[in-house]
Amino acid sequence: MSTSDRPARRPLFLVLEGIDGSGKTTQQQLLADWLRDQGESVTCCRDPGDTPLGQQLREILLHSAGDLHPMSEALLFLAARAELIRQVIRPARERGDWVVCDRFLLSTVVYQGHAAAERIDPNWLWSVGREAAFGLMPDLILLLDLPLEVAIQRSRRQDRFEARGREFQERVRRGFLIEADRQPERIRIVDAEGGPDEVQRRIRDEVERVLERHPRA
Ligand code: TYD
């Protein structure tokens, strides 16, 4: 079917989430390619990042900060996200672009909520995080899930969070699964084991599923 035969589709705001080494970056690229091949305009972004403040906070949070309380981390992630929305995501949505974002609020809920040693209440993080995101929530969150061993083998670098060790990463994985269980429609668990194309097919199935339910702009 050519692009012009296809019914107009509502551009979605999609987020990829998962433990470090789950393959988000590769999958983001493949997903954007697939959408662009169908004639859609796509904006890819990553959280934190893609704005001057976001880049600086990313550097501080991932590489240079010493010991930070999860509350400080959460508030910095929220600030980076507010600018990402204001400067990148909202303008993209207004242009009619699809948005494919590498991480979003769910990461704060999981890393600073479920997984942190002095954990912040996940419900509080949802509520403040939503306010700090100007109420903008993704249409679909694709949670790339896989066993820790596989993720560790895939992952090449270490940042502050990745250096926190196995137990922390296990709590991250569990936190993601708990949240997916609480919001089964919005957060879809995608089996991230297997080759990139295989995982991408599962992601596309989930996107198609949402489009079938809300096909029109
Ligand atoms: P990630 O986005 O996976 O970047 P890279 O691809 O460069 O590894 O890493 C960001 C790290 O920040 C990751 O370990 C999760 C953490 N993080 C939080 O703790 N809270 C948040 O709100 C976000 C967005 C990320």
% of the chain at pLDDT higher than 70 = 91
The tally of domains found in the chain comes to 1
Burial class (CB in 10 A: 0-12, 13-18, 19+), 161: middle
| Index of the ligand 1 atom closest to the CA of residue 108 | 22
Query: Is 3 within the bounds of a domain?
Result: no
So what's the pLDDT on residue 2? 44
Query: Is 2 within the bounds of a domain?
Result: no
Greatest extent of the chain over all pairs of C-alpha atoms, in Å: 56
Domain ranges, residue 137 = 9-213
Query: Is 156 within the bounds of a domain?
Result: yes
Cβ–ligand 1 contact at 62 (below 6 Å): yes
Q: Over the stretch 153-167, which tens digit does the pLDDT of each residue have?
A: 887 666 666 677 889
Cβ–ligand 1 contact at 54 (below 6 Å): no
Give the CATH number of the domain where residue 186 resides. Answer: 3.40.50.300
Backbone phi, then psi, for 16, in 5-degree steps? -105, 130
So what's the pLDDT on residue 166? 87
Query: Is 151 within the bounds of a domain?
Result: yes
Low-confidence ranges of the chain (pLDDT < 70): 1-8, 65, 156-162, 215-217
